[in-house]
Amino acid sequence: MANIIAIVGRPNVGKSTLYNRLTESRKAIVDDYSGVTRDRHYGQGEWTGKRFTVVDTGGYVHGSDDVFESAIREQVLIAIEEASVILFMVDVTTGITDLDDAIVDVLRRSKKPVFVVVNKVDHSLLQQEASIFYSFGLGEIYPISSMTGSGTGELLDDVVQHLEKDEEEADVRPTYAIVGRPNVGKSSLINALIGIERNIVTPIAGTTRDSIRIHYNQYGHDFFLIDTAGLRRKTKVKENIEFYSVMRTIKALEESDVVILMLDATEGIESQDINIFHLAEKNRKGVVILVNKWDMIEKNNKTTKVFEDLVKEKIAPFTDVPIIFTSVTEKQRIFKAIEAAAKVYENKVKKIPTSKLNDVMLPIIENYPPPAIKGKYIKIKYVTQITGRSPMFAFFCNLPQYIKEPYKRFVENKLREHFDFEGVPVQVYFRQK
């Protein structure tokens, strides 16, 4: 399942403001002028039980006005190919500009649903003015105010109709996505596993391709790999290479059960890697980290530990993740990486019997109960695992609203200690009984 919502539009219409609202980004960085480098351009959102990734296309292109139009047109093309739904944002306070028209030209070719989102309709008097955007001929328009949030509910109600539901992934073979920055060794790993040189280049802009899924069935392992390296797109504008690779990575990630995140040992873990890691975590995917090119590092008996600690510090608080030091070219620990992914998958789908859960967890809770609040004692009576696509546990108690974050973390850590959820995000809920 890949639900990707791409927000396209010219600078300053309010794309990143909407992005922040849809993803409820805490670290919202919205600047009063365009062209400012932003921290993050993709994140998770949810509406009426449907989950999706929102991509703010704006942040990728900087530069002079003459490259701007072609860069944005190209981004819109990529968005049409890769996203599930396009939100085309315009600004009611400026009306229709030439750049808006240029984008509409591209969007007319879209087979994907396009929503015309008229932003900055902060009060009802502006509703009337929004109607000029019907002249695009792209159908219904959605007047909203990203700033206040008005109209976004109606927009999302319609948008999620075009998204897929979370499916139960019972007894299907696991899918692993191999992701990471360019040059970390993704293709080399795939080649080493599959044993043939594959070089898939798609030089024609606008050709439709599916993600490359490779079936692997050897040495007692049966799974699918999603290759994000095999696909390279020729782009006219350099910055769009990153945009394209981000789109592909999100898609691969959403379609997988376990994400194999490759790092380059000579470069360490960078912000892009951390972003992918958090996206996997929020998407409730299993994660294995490979530190590749380990052959290139001068080592003593502490090197592995030092590197591991460094990575864990960066990915905190979710640090219960296998980290494997590989050399694809020297064929070191490649198989171990696959075993780790298989183990993570197992951890992700396993169900702990309720009796066993209670036998282990209730004495722990009894010894270390949640702190009393306002003289009230919290009694946790029992715990059960909720079925879902990743481990979730419901603890039934008298006053769930009084359970604070540190206690949730304590309980999660105890679950990890006793039942092994290495590599998988674990959700802990407290409910009224």
Residue 167's alpha-carbon distances to 2, 50, 257, in angstroms, are 11, 11, 12
> Which x/- pattern, by CB under 6 A, does the window 27-66 give for ligand GDP?
---x-x-x-----------------------x--------
Query: First-to-last CA distance in the chain?
Result: 34
Q: State the minimum distance, in angstroms, from the CB of residue 431 to ligand GDP.
A: 37
Residue 230's alpha-carbon distances to 32, 191, 245, 249, in angstroms, are 39, 10, 11, 12
Binding ligand GDP (rule: CB under 6 A), the pick from 44, 119, 235, 256 is 119
Angstrom distance (rounded) from CA 404 to CA 18: 30
Binding ligand GDP (rule: CB under 6 A), the pick from 327, 338, 357, 415 is 327
Rg for the chain (alpha carbons), in Å?
24
Q: State the minimum distance, in angstroms, from the CB of residue 62 to ligand GDP.
A: 11
Q: Are 189 and 338 in contact (CB under 8 A)?
A: no
333 touches ligand GDP by CB under 6 A: no
Stretch of 8-16, 240-248, 269-277, 341-349 contacting ligand GDP, by CB under 6 A: 8-16
Residue (79 or 411) nearer to ligand GDP, CB: 79
Stretch of 70-78, 132-140, 182-190, 207-215 contacting ligand GDP, by CB under 6 A: 182-190
147 touches ligand GDP by CB under 6 A: yes
- Triad 222, 223, 228: Cα angle to 5°: 150
Report the SS3 class of residue 68. Answer: helix
Angstrom distance (rounded) from CA 116 to CA 139: 8
Tell me: is residue 121 an annotated ligand-binding position.
yes
Angstrom distance (rounded) from CA 21 to CA 146: 7
Residues 6 or more apart whose CB falls under 8 angstroms from that of 403 comprise 370, 378, 397, 430
Token match 């008005």: residue?
150
Binding ligand GDP (rule: CB under 6 A), the pick from 172, 201, 296, 386 is 296
* Token representation of residue 23: 């993803």
Q: State the minimum distance, in angstroms, from the CB of residue 54 to ligand GDP.
A: 12
390 touches ligand GDP by CB under 6 A: no
Tell me: is residue 58 an annotated ligand-binding position.
yes
16 touches ligand GDP by CB under 6 A: yes
Binding ligand GDP (rule: CB under 6 A), the pick from 175, 188, 211, 390 is 188
Q: Are 384 and 355 in contact (CB under 8 A)?
A: no
15 touches ligand GDP by CB under 6 A: yes
Q: Are 242 and 60 in contact (CB under 8 A)?
A: yes
Binding ligand GDP (rule: CB under 6 A), the pick from 54, 76, 252, 328 is 328
272 touches ligand GDP by CB under 6 A: no
- Cβ burial of 150 (10 Å; 0-12, 13-18, 19+) is middle
Which 202-231 residues touch ligand GDP, going by CB under 6 A? 229
Point out which residues bind ligand GDP (CB under 6 A).
9, 11-17, 30, 32, 34, 58, 119-120, 122, 145-147, 180, 182-188, 229, 292-293, 295-296, 327-329
